[in-house]
Amino acid sequence: VFERLELWSPTMTLNGSGRITYPSGQIDMRFRSSSRMRAPLLSDVWEWFRDTIFSVHVTGTLDEPVTQLVPFE
């Protein structure tokens, strides 16, 4: 169980939580992204919109992950 999983690059951060079952590799996780590069007013509006409108749900296995955009979650 991952209470918090964070991946980052110079331009974005991906925050997630959920489960990866071992040894089967079954995945059930949800992720939200955020930008690490900000433009004052535009970033605030875009981040609110992105965080409110969708997240990414990852299921399947580590060998064959399935991603789905989940609206209004």
Each residue of 39-63: pLDDT tens digit? 666 667 777 776 667 789 999 999 9
Number of DSSP helices (H) and strands (E) in the chain, helices first: 1, 5
Lowest-confidence segment of 7-11, 12-16, 49-53 by average pLDDT? 49-53
Predicted TM-score (pTM) of the model is 0.72
E strand or H helix at 24, and its extent? none
What is the predicted pLDDT for the residue at 2? 75
